[in-house]
Amino acid sequence: MIWRIRGRELTITRPLVMGIVNVTPDSFSDGGRHAGDPAGAADAATVMAAAGAAIIDVGGESTRPGAQPVWEGDQTARVLPVIERLATAGVAISIDTRNANVAAAALKAGAAMVNDVSAGKFDPRMFEVVAAAGCPIVLMHHQGQPATMQQDPRYDDVLLDVYDWLEDRLAAATAAGIAKDRILLDPGIGFGKTLRHNLTVLNGLALFHGLGCPLVLGASRKRFVGALAGEAPAEKRLPGSLALAVAGAGQGVQILRVHDAEESVQALRIWRGLRDSALTP
């Protein structure tokens, strides 16, 4: 499968890496290292791209558990200087936002796709903006809002409930004029899910291929990784994150959204090499 964004061709016959660049003061993963430093953020993103990240996901609003919404004007002011720099460098850019106006401004500045952790539920204009742009969009499952989503998440059957929810959002997106081949789906690890919920979804990722869209997995450095690793802090969760990236690739996930691009690219190359070797007589 060849996926074209902004004139670039991405071959989704093997798992690709999406590198994360946060320009927020309260990022759980880096403590706001790039807040107020668009040049530094762009430099970090360029290093990720040079290391093999196919897409760079730029976000100006933290959606970690407990986070409060960020005004769209602040988001735009944070992300546009980074996106403009990366677009000039020829990097494929995703804008990580729930706000339609932020998405529209980012796409105009050079972003090539939208990553909406609310799957169009936060801002009803999001699907209109994406349909008009003809760009890809990631629809992510969530339960509740970031400020409260981890307080008491409940499901009858988490795998089937997430599947049905994504199916509903996929239908809403296509009804709004977004082509199905422009839609990617993310089961939303850590977004309104307990440790047990996350593990069940991760072990059942292959189920979501039944929806007929490429899958995105964003499990990098998340809290449940720390819980499984003796309460390791975010900066110590690289080994667990790599294990999850490889596990996701083994279930056919097409895009791995990660903080540690170079390490993830290498891990996936080794995984692919072993797989290719096993299939060679």
Which amino acid would we find at residue 122? F
Statement: residue 4 has pLDDT above 70 = no
Residue 174 lies in a domain: yes
Q: Where are the alpha helices (DSSP H) in the chain?
A: 38-50, 72-88, 100-109, 126-133, 158-175, 195-203, 223-228, 238-250, 261-279
Q: How confident is the model at residue 65 (pLDDT cuts 50, 70, 90)?
A: confident
More confident residue, 63 or 101: 101
For 129, the domain range is: 15-271
Express as a percent the part of the chain with pLDDT over 90: 76
Among residues 6, 89, 3, which one has the least CA distance to residue 46? 89
Return the CATH number at 226.
Answer: 3.20.20.20
Q: How confident is the model at residue 69 (pLDDT cuts 50, 70, 90)?
A: confident
pLDDT given at position 125: 98
Residue 86 lies in a domain: yes
154-165 pLDDT, tens digit per residue, is 999 999 999 999
Beta bridge partners of 116: 139
Q: How confident is the model at residue 72 (pLDDT cuts 50, 70, 90)?
A: very high
pTM: 0.92
Average pLDDT of the residues of the chain:
91
pLDDT given at position 146: 78
Domain tally, the chain:
1
Statement: residue 33 has pLDDT above 90 = no
pLDDT given at position 152: 82
Judge contact between 28 and 62, C-beta under 8 A.
yes
Statement: residue 93 has pLDDT above 70 = yes
Q: How confident is the model at residue 256 (pLDDT cuts 50, 70, 90)?
A: very high
171-211 pLDDT, tens digit per residue, is 999 999 999 999 999 999 999 999 999 999 999 999 999 99
Q: How confident is the model at residue 136 (pLDDT cuts 50, 70, 90)?
A: very high
Angle between helices 158-175 and 195-203 (to 10 degrees): 70
Residue 8 lies in a domain: no
Beta bridge partners of 10: 3
Residue 279 lies in a domain: no
Residue 249 lies in a domain: yes
pLDDT given at position 37: 83
Euclidean distance between CA atoms 127 and 124, whole angstroms: 7
Catalytic center residues: 222, 257
Residue 62 lies in a domain: yes
Among residues 226, 230, 138, which one has the least CA distance to residue 184? 138
pLDDT given at position 210: 98
Residue at token pair 């106006």? 101
Other beta carbons within 10 Å of 211: 17
DSSP run (H or E) holding 221? none
Instruction: Name the 3-class secondary structure at 258.
Output: strand
52-61 pLDDT, tens digit per residue, is 999 999 999 9
Residue 2 lies in a domain: no
Residue 124 lies in a domain: yes
Q: Which distant-in-sequence residues (6+ apart) come within 8 Å of 250 by Cβ? A: 271
pLDDT given at position 157: 97
Mean pLDDT of 15-30: 81
Min mean pLDDT across 23-37, 131-145, 189-203 is at 23-37
